[in-house]
Amino acid sequence: MAFLLPIKLRFSLFCTFLSISLLFSGCGGGGGGGGQEDVAEGDPSTSPSISITLEPATVTLHTEESQLFSATVRGTDNNEVTWRVQERGTGGNITPDGLYTASTVSGTFHVVATSQADTSKTATAVVTVLRSIGGTTPTSGTLDSAFGIGGKVTTSVGFGSDAANGVVIQSDGKIIVAGSGFNGADGDFLLLRYNQDGSLDSTFGTGGKVLIDFSPADGADTVALDSTGKIVVAGYAYNGSDYDFALARYDAQGSADTTFGAGGMVMTPIGSGDDNVVAIAIRPDDSIVAAGQAHNGSNYDYALALYDNTGHLINAFVTPIGSHDDFVFAVALQPDGKIIVAGDVDNGNDFDSAMVRYNSNGTLDTTFGNAGKVVSPLGTSHDAIHAMEIRIDKIIVAGFSSDGTSSAIALARYNLADGSLDTSFGSGGKVVSSIGIINDSAFSLQIQSNHILIAGFTFNGVDFDFALARYELNGSLDSTFGTGGKTTTDFDGGNDIARAIAIQADGKIVAAGESVVVSDKDVALARYGANGTLDLSFKMQGQQTLNLESASAVAQTLAVQADGKIIAGGDSFDGEQNRFTLIRYGSDGQIDASFGEDGILTTFLDGGNGGKIVIRPDGKIFAAGTLFQNGDYDFGVILYDTDGTFLGFSSVGFGPGGGSNNDFLAASALQPDGKLLVAGSTFVGNNYDFALARFDTDGNPDLSFGTAGTVITSIGQANDFVSAMALQEDGKIVLAGYSDVGQITNFALARYNSDGTLDASFGTGGKILTPVGLSGIGVVTSIRIQTDGKIITGGYALHNNNSDFSLVRYNENGSLDSTFGVGGKVITVIDIGNDGLYDLTLQPDGKIVAAGFSNVVDSDFALTRYYPNGVLDTSFGQRGKIILPIAQSFDFAYAVALQSDGKIVAAGGNLNGTRYEFALARFRP
């Protein structure tokens, strides 16, 4: 474990590291291993079936740092252990929960766990404690410099305000945050997962993010992990007239758990009006206790719902505390299965703190307080319980207390047996603490070793900041934490509120909430060391972009090599000239420095630009594009070796004798025999027509194809433009694009035999025109041939005054496939603005992946996935759709491809200031 000091000190300090060794004893002459069972040799009472292991078995700490140990006991139903430090008095301290705090002196010490089922069974871990020479430990309560930027991370998720309301730590140290995200039209449940350094975990959901859409308005208030690591998130969802309890369960990859409820989601009406879940608890059998409030038609009451581990409702209970509004904020489970719910109650003048205890079946426990209820004013005016923890025989709560003009942090401790105040805590069982100038509140509480840790907010005189405070178990502030037991964190000068905290296995503290950026809220996280120091190694990452140090660069084409490496191609403009640019990435998304010059290859095309790339079976690369030569534009082809070395160049024009015509390349495809087909448009007379050419394996024009290697085809009455090309298994060639027909634009296709002649068996004389959308205006941008020979095209069509994703599927003879969508056509609205589809790819299971953009304020990457019949695959992204902002401005996905493992790679560009950059994103299948 690294010991992090303020940056100015870290450069002047060094540490002397001691060797790590493991203490173990043998059994019957056998050897031992790290953290394994210690058995007394020759003791006949020792049961060989019971064993203990410790994690970690060895650890290196600095003085006063903490480490959480865990013990696994096998061979008995009694898993309890007793913890001790072998070097009592000098070796540090350990809590009954296994949280070790290192000594103030350096040395080698031993943590011992003893089985309560058989006290002869022990296991020992070795702790090496180091002291920094010439240095001191950082001040407790400061941010953890190993986390994000200065210990802080903010994440913008949707199109507006986003906020975190809950946080949990997975067993692998990854951080799950739950809250609400705005999707551009309404609110959704939001899940985010961060790696330990604060970067979004790209293996989770979409780029680390999951938006869960129940209805036109949803929000999540709490999150928990069940025993299998599945994520349970809960809040509220709109049913069309009011709000209901809403729960969802997701697996570790961020996919909906379809064994839970309906498609991973459950909605439950509790009262006669609005209901919402505020807190959940998971029982040992993974059944769920959900607590919140329900409206009875006049006011809100406490509400409790019990679900089994499949999301089936077992029972629900509504409990009025007073005669006015009652609000729930926290829930906790006792070891005996009883349930405590806490919040506040309106007494007619202001609010008082309140708790209710239920038996495990949900009936009121009349042995608690007054017939199962406890109402306990914490101050002289409004107060509430926002968080609660049960520790042995005590209930510890945190919230706020107001005197009518200002609020302060409030804590109270109650006896678990009957709900009475524990008068040994604070003053008469209560503690009230001010953090800032005025208006403080606690929203979350955790027990950290022998301390009580709370998080919330404080007013600094201008706006609100994250606030943390740590207390001794008797209620006094812990003076070793922060400044007098308190610490505050400001993000960007706006209102920052910590709504949840969690403690990592290494003792570090993660606080999650919200930070106002201009008028929107973003998810905000801060991480603190176990002793309160800010973790600066927690970094904030966006999606993969590459600045080519040119004026502008956009990826327009994409190919995946057999070894999994990814090549993206497109244009870069240095302010004076266009250059065709290739970049090769490793399968992990890192630039492959063995390709070109440090992974980047640029080729000057005399004022033209690049188009498409294909990879030959021998690994060599054909790149095709448009170049300016001899006064007009022609098709150009470049051949590169596997490492990016330039091997050759050739061009072809479509005018008389290959002369002036202005030809623009848009697509390329590699035949099985290694010849390269390229297609686009050529200007003939007054209009553009389809243009097709073929090059041999050396990159020279194939004069045996068409007329001297070229074919020109007029499709409609005016301009015809090629956008895409595909090869059938029988060698036939299909071109797709669009054609002007009067005042509208149709999808346009043409099919050719392998020699370049039109295939008369396709459509009308080898040609097809298809109107798409309500306006009949549509543009093809991509085409794919299915394994059954059907032809699927994708693009965009003008529909209800906006452009939307559009797909059309044809039978082999060119007729529309009536089994696909509606009459062979599918139109998908991605969001409320213009959407455009630029590329398609087909999965081995027949599903169709489309990529492009969606524009509301600016444009973002957009992907959709469809079943083979054209119906959206709702298991993909958010009900079949993904909107992914790459940066703060315009982003477009121009190409999409599949890796051999099924992962989906999208490439395009994002606007960074005044110039575009290559942008890539990868998605799980």
Beta bridge partners of 469: 454, 486
CA dihedral 755, 760, 761, 762 (to 10 degrees): 90
The residues, ordered by sequence, that sit 6+ positions from 657 with a Cβ below 8 Å of its Cβ are: none
Q: Strands 394-402, 407-415: parallel, antiparallel or unpaired by DSSP?
A: antiparallel
- Report the C-alpha gap between 34 and 53 in whole angstroms: 8
Ramachandran area for residue 389 (φ above 0: left; ψ -120 to 50: alpha; else beta): beta
Class of domain 52-130: mainly beta
CA distance readout (Å), 107 to 100, 130, 745, 829: 15, 7, 80, 65
Q: What is the DSSP string of 370-431?
A: BTTEEEE--SSS-EEEEEEEEETTEEEEEEEEE-SS-EEEEEEEEETTT--B-TTTTBTTEE
Question: Tokens standing for 655?
Answer: 């005018």
The residues, ordered by sequence, that sit 6+ positions from 832 with a Cβ below 8 Å of its Cβ are: 184, 185, 802, 856
pLDDT of res. 566 = 78
Under a CB-based contact definition with an 8 Å cutoff, are residues 507 and 67 in contact?
A: yes
Beta strands in 696-763 (DSSP E): 710-713, 720-727, 733-741, 744-752
Under a CB-based contact definition with an 8 Å cutoff, are residues 699 and 648 in contact?
A: yes
Question: Tokens standing for 407?
Answer: 């609020």
Question: Tokens standing for 236?
Answer: 């509220």
**pTM score over 0.75:** no
Instruction: Tell me the three state secondary structure of residue 105.
Output: coil
Question: Tokens standing for 103?
Answer: 């000594």
pLDDT of res. 607 = 44
Question: Tokens standing for 781?
Answer: 């941008």
pLDDT of res. 590 = 74
pLDDT of res. 547 = 36
- Report the C-alpha gap between 123 and 197 in whole angstroms: 32
In the DSSP assignment, the letter for residue 538 is -
- Report the C-alpha gap between 700 and 636 in whole angstroms: 10
Under a CB-based contact definition with an 8 Å cutoff, are residues 191 and 251 in contact?
A: no
pLDDT of res. 257 = 93
- Report the C-alpha gap between 229 and 235 in whole angstroms: 20
- Report the C-alpha gap between 716 and 712 in whole angstroms: 13
Q: Low-confidence residues of the chain, pLDDT below 50? A: 1-48, 132-146, 159, 536-553, 607-608, 657-659
Nearest-5° Cα angle at 599, 597 to 600: 65
Beta bridge partners of 411: 398, 431
Beta bridge partners of 289: 281, 306
In the DSSP assignment, the letter for residue 485 is T
pLDDT of res. 812 = 95
Residues in the chain: 925
- Report the C-alpha gap between 883 and 861 in whole angstroms: 6
| φ and ψ at residue 66, rounded to 5 degrees | -120, 155
CA distance readout (Å), 462 to 400, 433, 493: 20, 20, 9
Ramachandran area for residue 905 (φ above 0: left; ψ -120 to 50: alpha; else beta): beta
- Report the C-alpha gap between 805 and 101 in whole angstroms: 58
Under a CB-based contact definition with an 8 Å cutoff, are residues 552 and 892 in contact?
A: no
CA dihedral 25, 30, 31, 33 (to 10 degrees): -70
In the DSSP assignment, the letter for residue 533 is -
How many Cα atoms sit within 13 Å of 599 on the Cβ side? 16
Helix (H) or strand (E) holding 7: helix 7-10
CB neighbours (10 Å) of residue 657? 7
pLDDT tens, position by position, 391-419? 888 999 999 988 877 888 999 999 999 99
Q: What is the DSSP string of 545-613?
A: EE--SSSEEEEEEEEE-TTS-EEEEEEEE-SS-EEEEEEEE-TTS-B-TTTTBTTEEEEE-TT-EEEEE
Under a CB-based contact definition with an 8 Å cutoff, are residues 920 and 544 in contact?
A: yes
pLDDT tens, position by position, 819-829? 999 999 999 99
Please state the domain extents for the chain.
52-130
pLDDT of res. 574 = 55
Of 285, 212, 121, which is closest to residue 875 (Cα–Cα)? 212
Under a CB-based contact definition with an 8 Å cutoff, are residues 651 and 672 in contact?
A: no
With the C-alpha atoms ordered 746, 752, 757, 759, is the resulting torsion angle positive or negative? negative
- Report the C-alpha gap between 215 and 242 in whole angstroms: 11
Q: In terms of C-beta density within 10 A (0-12 exposed, 13-18 middle, 19 or more buried), how is residue 227 classed?
A: exposed
Of 489, 497, 492, 538, which is closest to residue 514 (Cα–Cα)? 497
Instruction: Tell me the three state secondary structure of residue 673.
Output: coil
Question: Tokens standing for 315?
Answer: 């029972």
Of 612, 556, 563, which is closest to residue 592 (Cα–Cα)? 563
Beta bridge partners of 731: none
Under a CB-based contact definition with an 8 Å cutoff, are residues 528 and 534 in contact?
A: yes
Peptide bond into 925 cis (omega under 30): no
Max distance between CA atoms of the chain, in angstroms, equals: 103
Under a CB-based contact definition with an 8 Å cutoff, are residues 334 and 340 in contact?
A: yes
- Report the C-alpha gap between 171 and 167 in whole angstroms: 13
